[in-house]
Structure 1
Amino acid sequence: MKTKHILIILAIGFFIILIGAVLKIIHMEIGPLNGNSMLTMGMFVEVIGGILLIYKLITAKKSNDFLNS
């Protein structure tokens, strides 16, 4: 998996958290989705992205090679 894919996963998690925070602040629900469930899903996606990023950092042969991979 390339580094840009991991960064995209982290960005998606960030936007899910952002939408969840807005839903929680305005006390709104979109069908079965509410602020709590969106925040939980977003944090889960961010944790997965963080684990993948740490794995990528550990397995990179050189620090210069990390961003180019």
Structure 2
Amino acid sequence: MSLKQFKVPLLLLIIGIILTIIGALFKIQHKPNGSLLLTAGTFVEFCAIFLGIIKLIKVARQ
């Protein structure tokens, strides 16, 4: 098992974490679109975790 196989899920996870942190900061400062950024970040994190689990299952079956 190589980490190169998990490059896309890890990249998506990092992007999702960044979006979530920025969204939380926007919410704290009462700036517009904070909720949108939080929602988008959480959705991207979910997609990354889902893709990572699928990759793990594919690797385990080989």
TM norm structure 1: 0.76
In the TM superposition, structure 1's runs of 4+ consecutive aligned residues that sit over 3 Å from their partners are: none
Question: Structure 1 residue 4: deviation in Å?
Answer: 1.3
What amino acid does structure 2 have at the position aligned with 1:57?
A: L
TM norm structure 2: 0.84
Unaligned runs of 5+ in 1: 63-69
User: 1:2 — aligned with what?
Assistant: 5
User: 1:17 — aligned with what?
Assistant: 20
CA distance in 2, matches of 1:48, 1:12: 11
Task: Compare CA radii of gyration and give the structure with the larger one.
Answer: 1
Unaligned runs of 5+ in 2: none
Matched residues, percent identical? 41
CA distance in 1, matches of 2:12, 2:5: 11
CA distance in 2, matches of 1:54, 1:61: 10
CA distance in 1, matches of 2:5, 2:60: 14
Listed as ranges, the matches of 1:49-64 within 5 Å are 49-61=48-60
Q: Aligned-residue CA RMSD in angstroms?
A: 1.7
Aligned length: 58
